[in-house]
Structure 1
Amino acid sequence: MIRKINRRTVIRSAGALAGTAVAMPFVSRRHALAADPIVLGLPTSQTAAAGVADDLDHLNGTTLAMEEINEAGGILGRELKLFVTDVDKLSPESCQQAIAACIDAKVHAISNAFLFVPIPAMDESAKYKCPYVQGNTQRAATEAFKSNPEKYAHIFQTDPSEVHYGYTYPLWLEHEEAQGVWKPKNRKVHIIQEQVAYCQTISKAAQEAIKKRGKFEVAEVTDIQFPVQDWAPVIQKMKEVDAAAIMVDHWVAAEYAAFCKQFIADPVKDSLVYMQYGPSQPEFLTLAGDTANGFCWSTVLGVYADEKGRAFREKYKKRFPGIMGLVYTGNGYDIVQYLKLAWEGVGDPDNFKAVCDWIRDHPYRGVCGYMDMKNELQEAAHFPDNGYPISASELEKGMSQLYVQVQNTEHKIIFPNEISESKLQPAPWWG
């Protein structure tokens, strides 16, 4: 976790002091903007052990959108400013306090990457009801909206929920086999699961979907506990099970990088190894280097590699040089652009209800795909359709899950076909 300390320093330099309204650097003053700014609240992990990398990505994407908007004359003639406050994603009290700080600052909307304990934050935000637009990726949170839509009407999850990681996993395995790029040595799947509720939900969904589809079988489920200090016992268990497909259901980039290094030294031959989400964080490639080649991962929320996505990647890298995170960079950017359209459509950012109604009635296609909030869970629909709610049968009616393989130390989208950049390549430990 040493690198996270350095990333906190970057966040402080980008976001100034936590808990204060900040005008980010490089904002043009050529346009005469009204003195009364529109303020967006950003609970951002800066001092906790978890989530700093994702929150830096989210802050950077938000910053980029804010700078572009202010450069072009603001929103309704008013400058957009950010209110950044610290949060510990694993602490219910901290999540609640971060939202309370935003309310005290009288923000016009709240945006965050994700919180592991979203319900306390949602309950706190219900006291204020400004638009709360985020990428929490949790079905428990959207089910809370479904059970009480009046209380949580102002809360929008801009990505599909984590259950889709599990539901889509066997679909992906079947696709790679059908393509002829992977010939499974057996029909076994070995799931390695972390203990936070988020990962447990994914594991259960995967087990359910594998059984339902019937093409593979779960041979073993092995528990791990954050932080993982040594992967050797886990890899030994992998070798004993010797499954054709291995799903590592975890979320920490640095620990995934350590896993890759240890696995490459003593691999499970001919196994297709998948790691859920964490490799999307920039430090994964920095730490893993060449040992990352051949491993696969996915995200239900990510920057596409289409024309719109490539243009965003280019300008993001110009503004924030280095390895780019592929998830919350785009989500932070998309949320601001979505809110801008809503504020302009309503004409009054202080009319929270009208802005929320506008968001519900107007889908938005961003760099991470299509967001339509008008459904029973108020979350983005998942593509491809995996037979579970909420799914879309067309790419431009949902947000595509991106299955990615590291090829030549670069992330390449390999599934679904509608948005792929490459095909699955043989891993170094195959054959």
Structure 2
Amino acid sequence: MTTTFTRRRVLKAVPAAAAAATLPAPFISGAARAAGDPILIGVPTAQTAQAGVADHQDYLNGTTLAIEEINAAGGVLGRPLKTVVVDIDPLSPESGQVAINKLIDAKVHAMSCAFVFTPVPVADVSARYKAPFLWGLTQRNFTDILAKSPEKYGHIFQTDPSEVHYGYTFPVFLKAMRDQGVWKPINNGVHIVQEQIAYNQTISKALQSALPKSEFKLAGITDIQYPVQDWGSVIQEIKKVGAGAVMIDHWVAAEYAAFVKQFGADPLKGALVYLQYGPSQPEFLELSGPAAEGFVWSTVLGVYADDKGKEFRAKYKKRFPGIMGLCYTGNGYDVTYYLKAAWEAVGDPNKFREVCDFVRKTPYRGVCGYMSMNNPLQECAHYPDTGDAIGAKELEQGMAQLFFQVQNAEHRIIYPDVLKETALRKAPWW
């Protein structure tokens, strides 16, 4: 599989608020009140790479919080949990292979990771060990491969829905906003501004396939190429096309920040502007300032704002002060508790096959929603159901894609309705 970047790539400069202290590799941590040999969770974590550091650190923080709670309550099967953290470059297949081999040498009982950009080489190395491997990969290309080779990859689980849903769900979201009367589109056109990497192209193609089945239509496609130094020509193209909704199908938070500032100075009046995932990075709000107000974004993996999610957010902010990422913090936390449930049900963390069977067959409801991976792709079902092979008709049957709007310098959930914190507000340029 060729190397691809995804929405989660970050710039070399990671804000201090998003990055915790660098850990050597491998590093075993975790104080426990339980006795006996520790149960080891291998957590490949980007520390020195140029991509993925912020999200990986969020994931490690969420894992750490869960382990501290579990150990304070007596551990698992009377044993403490400990992390084995190894450095990994998510862009490098060789680095991924080295990291997994280190975890195998450490005899970990499970592997837990945010994501990598080259999943097949990493998965292939893990296949010789078969320990449960849970990650928030968000790549349908890999889960399709998994479905074709279940004996080889049956120990690997994608703990979130795939990226195709960013395209499939966009017209559903637009219709909901229009029907609720919170958005009055200037027309039913959708303009896609797309980056050239495979991840963004997959999203764009999914949206293009979904539009003819909806009440909206494709108004235009504009190509951009990372790095985007100046958004001026793109903004002029947006105004020329004049679509009611614009999807900026990019991934770099800092470049999104530059876009919102330039768009705010010369906007397409009345347009709903959606920025794909990148605003989840803390640096988006830091760099954008007031210019971020009114823009919309979404994630297929995010911490809910229900009672369970609010409790987690409060605990996390107390343990890790600063701006909190709303995606991988909860994912690392949920995966750790998922493994705890599996180990307690099986009774022996060394029984890899039995533990994998439990994860496959037994859903888990965490702070990021309902994880159900009992399907050929072994990826989480997505809510709302958009006709994909893995869709959930009810909230507690799948993981909800969360749509946010920046309101008063904060990310607030505006869709789906069953989880929203507030309604979509009129954007400053409307």
Answer yes or no: same fold by TM over 0.5: yes
Deviation at 1:168, TM superposition (A): 0.3
CA contact (8 A) 1:8 1:46 kept: no
The corresponding residue for 1:33 is: 35
**From 22, 27, 51, the counterpart of 2:28:** 22
Deviation at 1:6, TM superposition (A): 4.3
Deviation at 1:46, TM superposition (A): 1.5
SS of alignment partner, residue 150 of structure 1:
helix
The corresponding residue for 2:350 is: 350
CA contact (8 A) 2:19 2:57 kept: no
Q: Which amino acid aligns with 2:28?
A: V
| Equivalent runs, 1:384-423 vs 2, <5 Å | 384-423=384-423
CA contact (8 A) 2:17 2:323 kept: no
CA contact (8 A) 2:26 2:102 kept: no
CA distance in 2, matches of 1:290, 1:22: 42
CA distance in 2, matches of 1:422, 1:68: 31
| Equivalent runs, 1:269-308 vs 2, <5 Å | 269-308=269-308
Identity %: 62
Are 2:238 and 1:232 equivalent residues in the alignment? no
CA distance in 2, matches of 1:369, 1:352: 25
CA distance in 2, matches of 1:163, 1:125: 26
Deviation at 1:406, TM superposition (A): 0.6
CA contact (8 A) 2:18 2:323 kept: no
CA distance in 2, matches of 1:155, 1:194: 29
Structure 1 unmatched runs, 5+? none
CA distance in 1, matches of 2:34, 2:380: 36
The corresponding residue for 1:365 is: 365
Deviation at 1:32, TM superposition (A): 4.5
Q: Which amino acid aligns with 2:20?
A: V
Cα gap change, 1:197/1:98 in structure 2, threshold over 3 Å: closer, same or farther?
Answer: farther
CA distance in 2, matches of 1:67, 1:317: 15
The corresponding residue for 2:50 is: 49
The corresponding residue for 1:98 is: 99
Q: Which amino acid aligns with 1:10?
A: A
The corresponding residue for 2:110 is: 109
**From 1, 4, 20, the counterpart of 2:14:** 4
The corresponding residue for 2:262 is: 262
CA distance in 2, matches of 1:304, 1:101: 34
SS of alignment partner, residue 20 of structure 2:
helix
The corresponding residue for 2:4 is: none
The Cα offsets for residues 91-150 of structure 1, whole Å up to 9 and x where unpaired, read as: 222233322222222211111112222122111111111000011011111111111111
CA distance in 1, matches of 2:18, 2:392: 37
The corresponding residue for 1:222 is: 222
Deviation at 1:2, TM superposition (A): 5.6
Of structures 1 and 2, the one scoring higher in RCO (CA 8 A, sep 6+) is 2
The corresponding residue for 2:323 is: 323
Q: Which amino acid aligns with 1:201?
A: T
The Cα offsets for residues 364-421 of structure 1, whole Å up to 9 and x where unpaired, read as: 0000011111112111110011111210000001110001101111111111111111
Cα gap change, 1:263/1:396 in structure 2, threshold over 3 Å: closer, same or farther?
Answer: same
Cα gap change, 1:253/1:344 in structure 2, threshold over 3 Å: closer, same or farther?
Answer: same
The Cα offsets for residues 9-60 of structure 1, whole Å up to 9 and x where unpaired, read as: 6241xxx21x213215xx4x5x2521x2111111111222221111111111
**Between Structure 1 and Structure 2, how many residues are aligned?**
420
Q: Which amino acid aligns with 2:415?
A: F
Cα gap change, 1:394/1:72 in structure 2, threshold over 3 Å: closer, same or farther?
Answer: same
CA distance in 1, matches of 2:226, 2:332: 27
TM-score (ref. length: structure 2)? 0.94
CA contact (8 A) 1:187 1:217 kept: yes
The corresponding residue for 1:73 is: 74
RMSD: 1.5
The Cα offsets for residues 320-351 of structure 1, whole Å up to 9 and x where unpaired, read as: 11111110000000000000111111111111
CA contact (8 A) 1:192 1:224 kept: yes
Are 2:310 and 1:310 equivalent residues in the alignment? yes
CA distance in 2, matches of 1:309, 1:412: 13
CA contact (8 A) 1:165 1:300 kept: yes
CA contact (8 A) 2:412 2:421 kept: yes
CA contact (8 A) 1:385 1:393 kept: yes
- Which aligned segments of 4 or more residues in structure 1 are displaced greater than 6 angstroms? none
Are 2:146 and 1:145 equivalent residues in the alignment? yes
Q: Which amino acid aligns with 2:353?
A: K
Structure 2 unmatched runs, 5+? 1-10
Cα gap change, 1:290/1:9 in structure 2, threshold over 3 Å: closer, same or farther?
Answer: closer
CA contact (8 A) 1:361 1:374 kept: yes
CA distance in 2, matches of 1:171, 1:127: 42
Q: Which amino acid aligns with 2:150?
A: P
CA contact (8 A) 1:116 1:198 kept: no
TM-score (ref. length: structure 1)? 0.94
Cα gap change, 1:8/1:189 in structure 2, threshold over 3 Å: closer, same or farther?
Answer: closer
CA contact (8 A) 1:113 1:135 kept: yes
CA distance in 2, matches of 1:9, 1:334: 20
The corresponding residue for 1:172 is: 173
CA distance in 1, matches of 2:271, 2:34: 60
Cα gap change, 1:130/1:400 in structure 2, threshold over 3 Å: closer, same or farther?
Answer: same
CA contact (8 A) 1:7 1:52 kept: no
Q: Which amino acid aligns with 1:119?
A: V
Are 2:334 and 1:334 equivalent residues in the alignment? yes
CA contact (8 A) 1:111 1:134 kept: yes
Q: Which amino acid aligns with 2:329?
A: T
Deviation at 1:194, TM superposition (A): 1.7
CA contact (8 A) 2:15 2:283 kept: no
Are 2:247 and 1:247 equivalent residues in the alignment? yes
